[in-house]
Amino acid sequence: MKQPSILFEDKDILVCFKPAGMPVQTKSLGSMDLEHYLKNHLLRQMRKEGISPKQPPYLAIIHRLDQPVSGILVFAKTPDAAKKLNSQMQSDGFTKEYEAITCGLFRKTSGTIINYLVKDGRTNTSSICQKDTPGAKQAELSYHVVNSFPEKKLTQVRIRLKTGRHHQIRVQMAGNQTPLWGDNKYNPEFSDKKGYFPIALCARHLEFVHPATGEKLSYEIACEWPQI
């Protein structure tokens, strides 16, 4: 597994790359998650500056990526930054673009997919449902095809989220008959893969407004895929 890397940091925020395989946050003893990896980084910085903290440094999780998914995340280093970033999240102030490899070919080169999803907390999965299903939430994304591989029946596609639902891209792509390569929860082709398995999904682009300066920030990475 690759190590996380910090793309930008100042006194208010920290933008980093999360590798596939590392959870953002976990309760498993002995497992390193991104939250504690970054807190350790902040502790090392404080000690270099001669500061001996009496408690762990402040770090707020603003949004998440599933453990098998790689990509860009922003964290807040102060309560005020966390409040303002969360407000942006709630008001669609974040622009998030993903890249994926899907099993199956798209009928159109671009489009919008709208469904209603319901989460099952017992199995940690979501599914497409009717609008009047208890707990149903509308999910919307747009996509455009970057490249098609008809001989392998695979597609490289970029996806922008309008909403942020649990497992949204994974569920909606599966419902579109183009499930993600490597997804052992929603792609029957990989259902025999138990535990962690890398998914060909990457949060490649993130835009938001800096919570202190008001500057519009934009970050982008090149996605790397497992052997497909």
Q: In this structure, are strands 110-120 and 125-129 parallel, antiparallel, or unpaired?
A: antiparallel
Q: Which residues are CB-neighbours of 66 under 8 A, at least 6 positions away?
A: 167, 170, 199
b/e per residue 65-96 (b: at least 16 CB within 10 A): bbbbbbbbbbbbbbeebbebbeeebeeeebeb
Strands (E) in 62-215, as ranges, are 70-76, 95-103, 110-120, 125-129, 137-149, 154-161, 201-209
Residues acting as catalytic residues: 66
For 87, list phi and psi in degrees, rounded to 5.
-65, -40
Residue 149's CB: how many other CB atoms inside 10 A? 12
